[in-house]
Structure 1
Amino acid sequence: MGTAEMGARGEDIAVDWLEQHGFTIVDRNWRCARGEVDIVARHQDGLVFVEVKTRSGVVGGHPLEAITRTKLRRLRHLVPAWFAAHPEHTAGHIRIDAVAVHLIADRAIVEHVEALV
């Protein structure tokens, strides 16, 4: 499985997991000149911007290790850009979360980390 295919599979798994845990998906793979937001979801009275990282097997480290300070800074700048492109959306609270998807053999293990910043 190639990197792009694995990433797409991980995002699909993350979406399923989020929906099963009370999140409503608002947007996926939103792009602008500054970068990409993997998932935007409504949860309770707020919007959650979700970064998804997927790894297969145990080689290559934990998926969340790929979320660096630079990546977090970029995500923080993408949030207002997303709202500017979607003025119809409002939120009581805004949060940036991460979902790690571990693909090991024929199963997926999902870890959700709330409020990275």
Structure 2
Amino acid sequence: MNATGALGRYGEELAARRLTEAGMAVLARNWRCGRTGEIDIVARDGDAVVVCEVKTRRGAPPGTGAFEHPMAAITPAKADRLRRLAACWVDHHGGPPPGGVRIDLVGVVVPRRGAPRVEHARGVA
């Protein structure tokens, strides 16, 4: 696995831990739906299903300004893809849950020094 892949896996592990600490149950990780793509994490939050996109970034060197916050990664095209993936999950798992489906984003920033910062935004798309 290359460094980018390892960073992404690390971010997904931190995200799954954060969701679990928030009282959610992780149902699946890296769930694929044909050509539509992959859901990083599927979780249950009460009676709702949560499709969770995880974006991990390494902190930029000080003074470079070469950094995009992970929360900026949800473009309209990405939001559309996440909605299609959520529909695919529902189709493959017996229909919509009573609490519906929500799309969340977990952003992870891994600084050069210090602890990673994990942010969870609910209902982003």
Report the TM-score, using the length of structure 2 for normalisation.
0.86
RMSD: 1.6
- Deviation readout 1:3-54 (Å, 9 max, x if unpaired): 1110000000000111011010011101121011111100112111100000
Deviation at 1:90, TM superposition (A): 2.9
* Alpha-carbon separation, structure 2, partners of 1:15 and 1:109: 14
* Alpha-carbon separation, structure 1, partners of 2:6 and 2:98: 32
Q: Which residue of 1 aligns with 2:124?
A: 116
Q: Which residue of 2 aligns with 1:21?
A: 22
Residues 1:4 and 2:12 aligned together = no
In structure 1, list runs of 5 or more residues that go unmatched. Answer: none
Q: For residue 54 of structure 2, give the secondary structure of its aligned residue in structure 1.
A: strand
* Alpha-carbon separation, structure 2, partners of 1:98 and 1:82: 17
Q: Which residue of 1 aligns with 2:37?
A: 35
Report the TM-score, using the length of structure 1 for normalisation.
0.92
Aligned residue pairs, count = 117
* Alpha-carbon separation, structure 1, partners of 2:118 and 2:3: 20
Deviation at 1:106, TM superposition (A): 4.0
Residues 1:60 and 2:67 aligned together = yes
* Alpha-carbon separation, structure 2, partners of 1:63 and 1:87: 32
In structure 2, list runs of 5 or more residues that go unmatched. Answer: 61-65
* Alpha-carbon separation, structure 1, partners of 2:80 and 2:96: 22
Q: For residue 15 of structure 2, give the secondary structure of its aligned residue in structure 1.
A: helix
The code of the aligned residue for 1:38 comes to D
* Alpha-carbon separation, structure 1, partners of 2:72 and 2:48: 26
- Deviation readout 1:73-94 (Å, 9 max, x if unpaired): 0000111111222228734221
* Alpha-carbon separation, structure 1, partners of 2:124 and 2:96: 22
The code of the aligned residue for 2:89 comes to W
Structure 1 residues 52-91: aligned runs within 5 Å = 52-58=54-60, 59-87=66-94, 90-91=97-98
